[in-house]
Amino acid sequence: MGPQQILAGMAFLRSAPPEVQHDPTKMGALLEARGPEEQRSLRSLMKVMSPSQREAFRRDLLVIARFLRTRPEVDPGRVASRGFCMGGGLSARLATLDSELRACLIFYGEPPDLARIPAIGAVVLGLYGGDDARITETVPGFAEAMKKAGKPFSYRSYPGAKHAFFNDTRKETYNTSAATDAWKRTLEFLRENL
């Protein structure tokens, strides 16, 4: 599967309403309307994005963070995570597993399971596209849960910015002003917290 197929598949999956995205039977019915080659590609993409695979990624990231802390060239008290899109969601989920993680950056990624927020020990910064409703609509609930748990969380939602606004290889989503401000905030966040 090439980059264009992945992008098209992601767009197709994101276009499905949340109640369809989280119901394998409804997603299966939606896929049946696609051609055989597209179905194969979409099923492969869905497998990578499945809850069980995301859990496996999350466990792998925890192992990596722990390994980094054993390296002589790494200050074990200054390990952070950062991710974009699904990686942003994985960065947030890692923060719920790794109590030693110092800082967590989320670029337009889904929030972690709200029940796991009390386990977060990191300072968290979220950067979101204002026109990315599927993700951005979840942020106020995430912010409220972080506040109730006494966890440091700041975020910025950029009006007019789409999902993947930071990706300068995608002209249809890249937003120069949002990306510039997000990078500035990222550097400030890392300087302050690491």
Partner residues linked to 82 by β-bridges: 105
Q: Report the C-alpha gap between 163 and 130 in whole angstroms.
A: 8
Helix (H) or strand (E) holding 128: strand 123-129
85 in catalytic set: yes
Exactly one of 75, 104, 163, 181 is catalytic; which is it?
A: 163
Q: Does 163 participate in catalysis according to the annotation?
A: yes
Q: Helix, strand, coil % (nearest 5) of the chain?
A: 55, 10, 30
Exactly one of 23, 104, 113, 132 is catalytic; which is it? Answer: 132
Burial of 185 (0-12, 13-18, 19+ CB in 10 A): middle
Burial class (CB in 10 A: 0-12, 13-18, 19+), 83: buried
Options 22, 60, 75, 85, the catalytic residue: 85
Given a contact cutoff of 8 angstroms between Cβ atoms, the answer to whether 131 and 123 are in contact is: no
Q: Which positions are catalytic?
A: 85, 132, 163
